[in-house]
Structure 1
Amino acid sequence: CHQPVNCEISSALTSFSSALDLASDQREIQHVCLYEIGWCSMIELNYREAYRAFDRLATESRWSQCYYAYLTGVCQGATGDLEGAVAVFKDVQKLFKRKNNQIEMFSMKRKLKSSSISKELCILSVIEILYLWKALPNCSNAKLQMMAQGTGIDDASCAGLKNLLLGAISKCLHNTKDAIQYFQLAARDEGGRLSNSYVQPYSCYELACVLLNSPESTNKIKFILFSVQEDYAGYDFENRLHVRIHSAFASMTASAQP
Structure 2
Amino acid sequence: MEALDLFLNNQFTESLDKLRPRVKDSMYHALFYATLLAMHGMMTFQQDDIISAGRTMKSAQELCQRFRRKSSGVGSVSSLGKNSGEKLSEEELHAEVCYAECLLQRAALTFLQDESMVSFIKGGMKVRNCYIIYKDLHNFLQSSHFHKGPNHSELKGGVALGVGAFNLTLSMLPARILRLLEFVGFSGDKNYGLSQLHEGAEGLSLRSILCVLLLLCYHTFLSFILGTGEGSLADAEELLKPLQQRYPRSAIFLFFAGRMEQIKGNIDQAVDRFEEGCKVQQVWPQFHHMSYWELMWCFTLKRAWKMAYFYADLLSQESHWSKAMYVYMKASFLSMLPAEEERPFGESEVELFRQVSSLKQKIAGKSPPTEKFAVRKARRYKALHPVTLPVPALEMMYMWNGFAMIRNRPDLTEGILNILTQAERHLLDAPVNDYTVDDQCMVQLLKGVCLKNQAQTQAAEACFSHVWKSEKQIKFDHYLIPNALLELSFLCSQRGNREQAISLLQRAKNNYKDYSMESRTIFRIHAALSKLKGSSADTEESTAT
| Partner of residue 89 from structure 1, selected from 326, 329, 353 | 353
Query: Could you list the per-position Cα deviations for residues 132-176 of structure 1 after superposition, in whole angstroms to 9, with x for gaps in the alignment?
Result: 111112122112111111112214331111111111111122211
Matched AA of 2:403 = L
Q: CA deviation at 1:31?
A: 1.6
Q: Is the 8 A contact 1:193 1:200 kept in 2?
A: no
Matched AA of 2:519 = N
**Mapped partners of 1:252, 1:238: distance in 2:** 21
| Partner of residue 318 from structure 2, selected from 60, 64, 67 | 60
Quick check: 1:32 aligned with 2:296? no
| Length, aligned pairs only | 249
Quick check: 1:166 aligned with 2:443? no
Query: Where does structure 2 lack aligned partners over 5 or more consecutive residues?
Result: 1-262, 428-435
Cα 1:18–1:215, aligned 2, differ >3 Å: closer, same or farther?
Answer: closer
Q: CA deviation at 1:192?
A: 5.9
Cα 1:221–1:27, aligned 2, differ >3 Å: closer, same or farther?
Answer: closer
Q: Which residue of 2 aligns with 1:104?
A: 371
Quick check: 1:133 aligned with 2:400? yes
Q: Which residue of 1 aligns with 2:329?
A: 71
Q: Is the 8 A contact 1:158 1:192 kept in 2?
A: no
Cα 1:12–1:246, aligned 2, differ >3 Å: closer, same or farther?
Answer: closer
Q: CA deviation at 1:68?
A: 0.7
| Partner of residue 416 from structure 2, selected from 129, 139, 147 | 147
Q: Is the 8 A contact 2:360 2:367 kept in 1?
A: no
Of all paired residues, the percent bearing the same amino acid is: 20
Quick check: 1:189 aligned with 2:470? yes
**Mapped partners of 1:145, 1:13: distance in 2:** 21
Stretch of structure 1 that moved more, 198-207 or 225-234: 225-234
TM-score w.r.t. length of structure 1: 0.87
Cα 1:18–1:75, aligned 2, differ >3 Å: closer, same or farther?
Answer: same
Q: CA deviation at 1:22?
A: 5.3
Q: Is the 8 A contact 1:35 1:54 kept in 2?
A: yes
Q: Which residue of 1 aligns with 2:515?
A: 235
Q: Which residue of 2 aligns with 1:219?
A: 499
Matched AA of 2:404 = P
**Mapped partners of 1:78, 1:192: distance in 2:** 26
Matched AA of 1:141 = P
Matched AA of 1:137 = A
**Mapped partners of 2:499, 2:411: distance in 1:** 36
Stretch of structure 1 that moved more, 218-227 or 181-190: 218-227
**Mapped partners of 1:50, 1:136: distance in 2:** 16
**Mapped partners of 1:18, 1:230: distance in 2:** 45
| Partner of residue 115 from structure 1, selected from 386, 401, 405 | 386
Cα 1:22–1:195, aligned 2, differ >3 Å: closer, same or farther?
Answer: same
Q: CA deviation at 1:243?
A: 2.4
Higher relative contact order (CA 8 A, sep 6+): 1
Q: Which residue of 2 aligns with 1:247?
A: 527
Higher Cα Rg, which structure: 2
Matched AA of 2:360 = F
- Report SS of the residue matched to 1:234: coil
Cα 1:192–1:40, aligned 2, differ >3 Å: closer, same or farther?
Answer: farther
Q: CA RMSD in A?
A: 2.3
**Mapped partners of 2:279, 2:473: distance in 1:** 44
Q: Which residue of 1 aligns with 2:273?
A: 15
Q: CA deviation at 1:24?
A: 4.9
Matched AA of 1:14 = D
